Structure 1
Amino acid sequence: MSERPDQETPEEISPEEFTGLKTGGESGSAAGLPAVLMSAKHVFSVMGLQRGMKALLNLNQKGGIDCPGCAWPDPDDKRSPVAEYCENGAKAIAEESTTRKAGPEFFSSNSISELAQLYDHELGKSGRIAQPMYLPEGKQHYEEISWDDAFKVIAEELRGLASPDEAIFYTSGRTSNEAAFLYQLFVREYGTNNMPDCSNMCHESTGVALSETLGIGKGSVKLEDFYETEVIVIMGQNPGTNHPRMLTALQKAKRNGAIIISVNPLFETGLRAFKNPQEIRGLLGMSTDLTDHYLQVRINGDMALLQAIAKVLLEEEEAHPGKVLDHQFIREKTEGSAKYLQHLNTLSMDALVENCGIAEEKIREVVKAIRFKNKMIICWAMGLTQHKNSVDTIKEVVNLLLLKGSIGKSGAGTCPVRGHSNVQGDRTMGIYEKPSDTLLDNLEKVFGISPPREYGYDTVKSIEAMHQGKAKFFMGMGGNFLSATPDTHHTAEAMRKCNLTVHVSTKLNRSHLVHGKKALILPTLGRSDVDYKNGQQQFVSVENSTGVVHSSQGKLKPVSDKLLSEPEIICRMAQAVLPGSKINWAHFNVNYDHIRDAIEKCVPGFDDYNRRVRRGRGFYLPNCAREGNFDTDSGKANFTVSEISPIPLEKEEYLMMTIRSHDQYNTTIYGLNDRYRGIRNERRVVLMNREDMEEAGLENKTVVNLYNNHGGRSRIAHNFIALAYDIPRRMIATYFPEANVLVPHSSTAKYSNCPTSKSVVVRIQASAKQHQA
């Protein structure tokens, strides 16, 4: 008998009541004056004019506050003195730097079940958590607790476990380099490698694919490469909403003559046109057309499209010998080309066209435009990384770049666009369940500890370990684990089986309401908060998507004197848990320079860390692929051979992908509007092809339920409003995290174990609740 998901407790998901859908008024271009006005509204309404201006004028400036949003790189040289941020960056800083506080009286007045009735954006707007909070076993209200007592609760729990491997330590991508290094050091001295992080759920597929093919799991381009390139391909990414500052780079590339090709199942406003709010013409409503060729691919049709493009390039090479492919690069720098080219020749163009959903004439038109170009950048995000075949698809991206010799030269290379602002830096610091021997050897040499060598749990395996009772303690260093992970009800069941759950947080979120027998919330300073140690202001550092390490220093007065920085939380926790530690944790807490000195000794590429990070722009980490060298077994870049793997759909099934609205960043919901898609005041919507709706007998705005039965477990997402939208047949889109209840925890990408949130098979049925329509 399958499990029934309709018996969940209310804390697990946002309320399923509607908030009042309004549609229409889609924008034809991104940013412009509306973005400026929306930024001002979010910032000044919660921070006031003086505090808000101070935050904005320091955001993404050299020596200022690194944006807590995405990891798009800052310009190395000149930056706008007044607006080096985007609309979502302004929303992020407003969310973090609000003056509203959730004090002890807030928690005493609101029980867990009462807080569960709030929507996610309402939870966030309750204010900064102002003091440590503890939920004793069997209680419904969080209670204030002292920091010393909070660390004592953690120490008693961790020291009481039968094995360190019964503990799980999660990390969000907003954690600084300094905090991440200390966190992994503490966890490994404690005795486990159970360190899942948000990479496991987003770009893990990227790291696996690039490491195997190019010898480094990071992108190879700099921001300046966008200004020198001839072709930019954007795949599975919506920069207008998720990385708006990228639009400025695309605009500059376009003005310099680059061809831009966008590949996405939805026509996204931010890929069509851009009104630069830093220019007078942008504020006056004049936009720059960005995309030259828009390929509305079927969900999970990217590999077939890439192979079709490569196949036509081969034909063009035969027609124009020596002018299309870079034979010298292929011969001197790569391996496996003969096998790959032979594979392309065996592929059926008709089958590739059918699977990608792009007409052959359109594919040939694109190839004709790029055939003689040899400076190409391919960008991608989670539209490529969250499928069963994601690793192979990204390897296909590499194949195309290798054919053109577009790696290791200016204006060319790989560009995985990271989401969280320091997710790449956290992995560099050692936040990884599969640590390298080099890191472990260095930790042993520098600190005299014996770090465990066995691999730990990633995110999906952590959920299963908690669900099976193999893990009894969970700690989240930032983030909203419940809402970010797949299979929400299953994850909730797992969390509730823990003895203690601990969250280091700035704001209240859904994960605080789904807890172990006991729970702690440890409030931390944000990026924008000043942080003094012994009268000296400290700073932290982060790594962006292009491998630049730079500083971030808070400028605003914290809203409470009971907040601790993440490094201090880790140091004091380590002292409580490991009283006989060989590491001088108090030393790290006195001055963060000491942490960076330790990083320099343990992590390659951080030579002279303290001096170089104080330079305005920071410094680039070594990148073999950027330099045209490849740290693979052969010392060359590897072509690979992959087969397309279509996802079969029965008559009444659809392939669902989760997406983000313009009023959110990851699990943080700023509001209820998706301005560019013309959807306002509602998040419980499903975007469907109009012909599919007619065939299913659904009128526009019919209320439906979405469900599946993957692995014998019934999953249902209640009360979604079906909206006719321009999306390929049998494909649908829903917002994350509301639709995460449908993403099976057991459906993951091959090789990377990343949840397949972009290819979920579902069925749709009309709901009995139809008053919204």
Structure 2
Amino acid sequence: MSKSEEASQRPDTPHYENATGGWGSLKGVSRILADQKPTFGAFRTLMRQNKPGGHMCTSCAWTKPAQPHLFEFCENGAKATIWDLTRERCTPDFFAEHSLTELRGLSDHELEKTGRLTHPMRYDATSDRYVETTWEEAFEGIGAKLKELDPGATVFYMSGKASLETAYLYALFARLYGHNNLPDSSNMCHETTSVGLKRVIGVSVGTCVLSDFDHCDLILFFGQNTGTNSPRFLHTLKAAKERGCKIVTFNPIRERGLVEFADPQNPAQMTVRPATRISDIYLQVRPGGDIAVLAGLCKRVLELDAERGSTILDRAFIAEHTTGLDELEARLREVSWEEIERESGLRRDELNEVAGIYATSKNVIGIYGMGLTQHVRGWLNLAMLVNLLLLRGNIGREGAGISPVRGHSNVQGQRTVGITEKPENVPNDKLRELFGFEPPQEEGRSTVDLVEGLLDGSVRGLVSMGGNLARAIPDRARAEGAWRGLELNVQIATKLNRSHLLPGRATWLLPCLVRAEEDMQATGPQAVTMEDSLSMIHGSLGRRQPASPHLRSEVAIVAGIAKATLPPNPRVKWDEWTGDYGLIRDLIEATYPDKFKDFNGRLFTPGGFHRGNAAREREWKTESGRAQFTAPEALTALGAPPEGQEITLITLRSNDQFNTTIYSFSDRLRGLSGPRDILLINPEEMERRGLSEGQVVTLECAVDDGAERVVRGLRVVPYDLPDACVAAYYPEANPLIPVSYRDELSKTPAYKGVPVRIRTDEAGA
């Protein structure tokens, strides 16, 4: 039986038998509705979600079509909006009743279920409680502490949900203050994209737009779980399949979203018609084995070209636009098929079949997610995918390209408008001209630099714009104690989470609006903008009544802190910018004129407006001025080969989860439910290691650097995985990820390929 004919999941392990979408998706949304009991206005918000002039979802970063469906939201997008618009409130009375010590005994899910934060709060160490304060007192107190601190010892972190307007002001504030310490959630997921793609094709983002999916003949998926992380993408894939496009998937886990999909908006498919089969071929690659997979595909394509008289490769494109093919060919001649099979975990005939399909497909798109980026050699994963696409000219023309799928709704856009630790990526000449100051030139701290700074004490102040940073970072358990050493800890948030329970010497918890809520300022309701995975810019207008009259917008909070911290500058007009976000967009256009021409005029363009992409136009802003073929020095993305009893850990998100937010304890699309402290492993690997179903074990990190990293109390669950690997949930498994175990170029933590040991002694019992 070929891989394309196999059942979607081995029947002797937990699995979900139905298609992604369908009635299961509707039931999943209904369960969250019953749990959160949002206001009736939440339904009107969902009807406007991801539509021109409406509210842009705060969940994934998948693009928004110019001609939306009646319901242009997915299961997870609905959950995110419902979660934001809950009726529950976390008020000063709640904090008066509970010390932070008590609250640390709650789970992440229980903390967020307390509801929306309603008032600015200050931590009182004497009572170990948050106490109500005023915005004026908060801004004055935070500003005073920032003035005391060395700017180089402070960090301004940003999660991926904040708008372009907020991000621009936040970055400006940091540089006026005197540092480039501007890490964001991209550092933990797609920084490898920013660094890796820029190295080989000269841009830090993907090259595709939505219309390319109307013209592609083949889509190659690597390490991306569409069904859970970006379900609206499934409509695009369904349409591509229905017109004859083939889809081939490489992923360690057989994710249901890339197996089959039943469109909830299609009455026939919800009743009598069968679900759409998404992947024609689904190959379960070994974690870290994608380099070997791509080496095998490239090797076979080169062989086919030689066998068929140089009719496979796009020789004209290669000659005009690329460099390095000779070195790649020489390296691949050295690589044996035995090595490729060993490192990939796949058979030669399987890779040959895919290579044959690629060689006869005119237009090909390469899709990838964090399964490629979160490795020690994640950058080489991307370079190898680019190699394959370049062989047949599949970058820079309609229906073809490389397309990373981002997670947070605006994480890509924040980098576009200045959230970066790298001063060379900032138009400092424009900042000098516009604001009359000298921007700092020292490289700032990334997220892993922030963690290292917490551990060694060099970071003394933190301002965190959203997210749950304390849970998301690698080396989480080691870092938690270090938070107490901060002189200043400012958390800007919508709901209570673990990061808020690790106070420094001076700590504030500041509540902000969510994107669906009306943002009323001096000139009236304000729109904000974000950039999606396909580099399209969208306007968003919230209309729901704010959860509390005491909430402020992220823009107003940034401006308030900045005004209290910085000396007056006649060119820096915090109050005017807060009153009219159109003025901020004018500044963005003035700073980035090529990307944001007529920004305010194009704010609500249906489908968004494209900010441009040089590689899409076959303009290569690389060191050589050409697209770069890369000869792989290794065939594995893992940091070191397994030895002895080591096994590779990959971390996962569940179906009812967005980043660190846990909506419920159901992982429906994997056939799992209940407590999240589980360890997935295939039955044969269980037998080899003497494990039994339900046994409780300990995982121990096998990176030897003198630090102990363990997660105890994991229950063994047999699951359909490749040999020599285990899987556990993120963020619960984050204590096992060393901050030093990261991509060689981008510093992205290697969440998808860490060596661990399974202990069955008393510590694991």
TM over 0.5: yes
Cα distance in 1 for residues equivalent to 2:477 and 2:110? 21
Aligned AA (1:243): S
Aligned AA (1:593): G
Q: Among residues 727, 731, 738, which one is paired with 1:744 in the alignment?
A: 738
Secondary structure class of the residue paired with 2:420: coil
Aligned AA (1:185): L
Aligned to 1:576: 564
Q: Among residues 211, 227, 231, which one is paired with 1:240 in the alignment?
A: 227
Cα distance in 1 for residues equivalent to 2:328 and 2:339? 18
Matched, 1:692 2:685: yes
- CA deviation digits over 1:711-765, x for unaligned, max 9? 1101110111111111111100100000001001111110111111111111112
Aligned AA (2:517): D
Which deviates more from structure 2 when the two are superposed, residues 733-742 or residues 342-351? Answer: 342-351
Aligned to 1:182: 169
Aligned AA (2:243): N
Secondary structure class of the residue paired with 2:516: coil
Aligned to 1:453: 441
Cα distance in 2 for residues equivalent to 1:381 and 1:138? 46
Q: How big is the shift at 1:212?
A: 1.0
Aligned to 1:609: 599
Identity of aligned residues (%): 39
Aligned to 1:93: 81
Are the equivalent residues in 1 in contact too, given 2:14–2:719 (CA < 8 A)?
no
Matched, 1:591 2:580: yes
Q: How big is the shift at 1:484?
A: 0.9
Cα distance in 2 for residues equivalent to 1:322 and 1:160? 67
Aligned AA (2:19): S
Aligned to 1:103: 91
Count, aligned residues: 746
Cα distance in 2 for residues equivalent to 1:405 and 1:494? 50
Secondary structure class of the residue paired with 1:712: coil
Q: What pairs up with 1:210-229 in 2 under 5 angstroms? A: 210-229=197-216
Cα distance in 1 for residues equivalent to 2:681 and 2:727? 7
Aligned to 2:505: 517
Cα distance in 1 for residues equivalent to 2:426 and 2:696? 55
Which deviates more from structure 2 when the two are superposed, residues 679-688 or residues 466-475? Answer: 466-475
- CA deviation digits over 1:453-474, x for unaligned, max 9? 1111111111112222222101
Aligned AA (1:228): H
Cα distance in 1 for residues equivalent to 2:391 and 2:126? 62
Secondary structure class of the residue paired with 1:207: helix
Aligned AA (2:330): Q
Aligned to 1:252: 239
Q: Where do 4+ consecutive residues of structure 1 move more than 3 Å?
A: 767-771
Matched, 1:413 2:407: no
Matched, 1:308 2:296: yes
- CA deviation digits over 1:515-539, x for unaligned, max 9? 2123111100001100111251110
Secondary structure class of the residue paired with 2:617: coil
Which deviates more from structure 2 when the two are superposed, residues 656-665 or residues 39-48? Answer: 39-48
TM-score (norm 1): 0.94
Aligned to 2:648: 655
Cα distance in 2 for residues equivalent to 1:437 and 1:686? 41
TM-score (norm 2): 0.95
Q: What pairs up with 1:4-19 in 2 under 5 angstroms? A: none
Q: How big is the shift at 1:696?
A: 1.7
Q: Among residues 757, 760, 763, which one is paired with 2:754 in the alignment?
A: 760
Q: Among residues 528, 532, 547, which one is paired with 1:559 in the alignment?
A: 547
Q: Among residues 337, 344, 351, which one is paired with 2:339 in the alignment?
A: 351
Aligned AA (2:337): M
Aligned AA (1:402): L
- CA deviation digits over 1:664-706, x for unaligned, max 9? 0111110001001111122111110211211222111111111
Aligned to 1:337: 325
Aligned to 2:51: 61
Structure 1 pair 378–330 and aligned structure 2 pair: CA distance change class (3 A):
same
Aligned to 2:671: 678
Q: What pairs up with 1:156-555 in 2 under 5 angstroms? A: 156-161=144-149, 163-284=150-271, 286-436=274-424, 439-534=427-522, 536-555=524-543
Structure 1 pair 438–762 and aligned structure 2 pair: CA distance change class (3 A):
closer
Runs of 5+ unmatched residues, structure 1: 1-22
Q: What pairs up with 1:632-671 in 2 under 5 angstroms? A: 632-646=622-636, 647-671=640-664
Q: How big is the shift at 1:708?
A: 2.2
Cα distance in 2 for residues equivalent to 1:745 and 1:198? 15
Aligned to 1:732: 726
Structure 1 pair 57–44 and aligned structure 2 pair: CA distance change class (3 A):
farther
Aligned to 2:9: none
Secondary structure class of the residue paired with 1:648: coil
Which deviates more from structure 2 when the two are superposed, residues 104-113 or residues 414-423? Answer: 104-113
Q: How big is the shift at 1:188?
A: 0.4
Structure 1 pair 366–154 and aligned structure 2 pair: CA distance change class (3 A):
same
Cα distance in 2 for residues equivalent to 1:358 and 1:610? 51
Cα distance in 2 for residues equivalent to 1:104 and 1:130? 8
Aligned AA (2:607): R
Cα distance in 2 for residues equivalent to 1:284 and 1:766? 48
- CA deviation digits over 1:251-308, x for unaligned, max 9? 1111111110100011111110000111112322630001011111000000010000
Q: Among residues 619, 622, 625, which one is paired with 2:615 in the alignment?
A: 625
Secondary structure class of the residue paired with 2:443: coil
Cα distance in 2 for residues equivalent to 1:767 and 1:74? 51
Runs of 5+ unmatched residues, structure 2: 1-12
Which deviates more from structure 2 when the two are superposed, residues 551-560 or residues 360-369? Answer: 360-369
Are the equivalent residues in 2 in contact too, given 1:113–1:140 (CA < 8 A)?
yes
Aligned to 2:69: 80
Q: How big is the shift at 1:24?
A: 4.7
Cα distance in 2 for residues equivalent to 1:25 and 1:462? 39
Aligned to 2:6: none
Structure 1 pair 494–742 and aligned structure 2 pair: CA distance change class (3 A):
same
Cα distance in 2 for residues equivalent to 1:293 and 1:181? 43
Cα distance in 2 for residues equivalent to 1:673 and 1:403? 43
Are the equivalent residues in 2 in contact too, given 1:95–1:124 (CA < 8 A)?
no
Which deviates more from structure 2 when the two are superposed, residues 609-618 or residues 715-724? Answer: 609-618
Aligned to 2:716: 722
Secondary structure class of the residue paired with 1:325: coil
Cα distance in 1 for residues equivalent to 2:122 and 2:295? 54
Secondary structure class of the residue paired with 1:738: coil
Are the equivalent residues in 2 in contact too, given 1:136–1:517 (CA < 8 A)?
no
Structure 1 pair 316–25 and aligned structure 2 pair: CA distance change class (3 A):
closer
Aligned AA (2:269): G
Cα distance in 2 for residues equivalent to 1:41 and 1:602? 45
Cα distance in 1 for residues equivalent to 2:421 and 2:675? 38
Cα distance in 1 for residues equivalent to 2:424 and 2:33? 42
Secondary structure class of the residue paired with 1:764: strand
- CA deviation digits over 1:80-127, x for unaligned, max 9? 12x101100011011111121100011111111221121111111110
Cα distance in 2 for residues equivalent to 1:159 and 1:770? 48
Q: How big is the shift at 1:186?
A: 0.5
Aligned AA (1:528): A
Cα distance in 1 for residues equivalent to 2:555 and 2:419? 15
Matched, 1:41 2:15: no
- CA deviation digits over 1:555-602, x for unaligned, max 9? 210110000000101111111111423411111011000100111111
Aligned AA (2:172): L
Aligned to 1:7: none
Aligned AA (1:747): Y
Secondary structure class of the residue paired with 1:605: coil
- CA deviation digits over 1:51-85, x for unaligned, max 9? 22112111111111110001000112x1112x101
Are the equivalent residues in 2 in contact too, given 1:672–1:682 (CA < 8 A)?
yes
Q: How big is the shift at 1:633?
A: 3.1
Are the equivalent residues in 1 in contact too, given 2:63–2:210 (CA < 8 A)?
yes
Are the equivalent residues in 2 in contact too, given 1:228–1:256 (CA < 8 A)?
no
